[in-house]
Structure 1
């Protein structure tokens, strides 16, 4: 936008209240597992460089300060990046997952968010309506790498729905309480023969002058595995609690439970996880985050290996410039019942990603 400032294109975008931005994220993960680091998340390729995200964002933001209704939109696209492999929605450009002689392409494109947005200030403290494909509305972490305190993802995040397609309303009841209600085509489904009506919703309590906030969110659908379409339909219940000790130190707890029925051979399956985050802001350019997580894949349906996963991660976010982020981290994972990490019970990784914002 700075480059376009003063040009005809820049003036047109400014008058239309449209902005263009994005980032490029590259990363390297050193791992004790040679064959692959799954079931940990997006940095699943050990001992090699990956272009995780090359993100383009085009948006027109709604105006929540005006007394008049406003409208906007957002288009977010990974083009290209290795993260696409896990975020693609069923029924949307999924041929990329078999184009490499039946295997996924290493890099691909995912139009990960595209929605229209309408804001009505006269209803309670404001009603927001989204129509399209958007991020799942629960948990702490995000597909958007710039919204995460650490480079690697938690099991709670990676093994639950990423996106929904449909209609979502957010009603601000007052300055403290807000509620969400939505109807979508399923979890990680765009438009597909396996689509099924699914409810998503949340209740948030966040006093503007308080040190605590609580978010409870649900995804409720058929909760039955669709064998005819090889499609998961989990019900999800998630609770996020945040406490701010002071301007520099904050704590977040994310507790998540999901279940599903009608699985071949196993019938009922479930999993639950608790992830805790402690972040200390040393200075505006430097912060440190620790994450301790326990994730029980009770029947092994999510990760492929049953048992309780324990994961401890410590990372640093360094921003020498507003457009440059560097995030090194070390992580240790352990499963008390199975050997998911290249036939080992434990995994050690040392990673670093670099984000160039533009």
Structure 2
């Protein structure tokens, strides 16, 4: 007569087959596993060596443009519209946000982290090129914010903003505008959903992905999960969303020809901001109006660097709200020190939500 199995034996009956199944799934989805290991490696390198938010103190653009303007020298101008992404799954896990109390956030923090880790494991085992942490997508709160942006864009604008809204919507007769965006999914999806009516109506419109707009952060949520020059994939959150058909818009309206992958570890956010400034004034952008999807720290740093030092503006100290839209005129002057850029402080204007 066989003796009954002890606790260890009973556990072994279930654990061993589970481990075999997990190993089989990892082998079956080996390319995804290897890619995720690469992301983990780059995350460690970013945490150790990234200088993304460190650069030498820049010169005051006001000191450059003041004499330039006084002398009547030529200045080029472009109208830039910063659109901040909706909240992400990373925000949902690690940030309190405005949608819940501090007590609710604290009580739900550990369960939220466990949920996120378990879901990340599921995504790896199931072979999905998706992630809760890396290049974190829009959360349910973020999708709601994108829906609210879309509704704002689709309703009749107030007279004070009528011309600007028509440009953003590309209404008949409006001045042409161009979409550019960070290579992070939540920013791309915010433009895709927030401007769904325009993109649905104008088949030729493209969202041009620019790595120079990538967020300034060491965190894994600021790493792009999309390999260079490959299509942007809708996340699991977006596939079931009613905001818009993300799969369709991302497939038809996103241009990744300039997406060269993640930002360099040894680079800086300032380098990328200068790249962005040069790009919008290059021959690649003939439009006067540029709609840029991006991120809070990048946008705040942009205002800090390119608004005159003498100007005390809320944009230097506060982030644009999730789903918010702020516009301004970016000026370019050719000087003996090369091209210089400055935001016209009188042109900064809140279109939606603000800071």
Q: So what's the TM-score if we normalise by structure 2?
A: 0.28
The structure having more radius of gyration, on CA atoms, is: 2
TM-score (norm 1): 0.28
Q: Which has the higher contact order (CA 8 A, sep 6+)?
A: 2
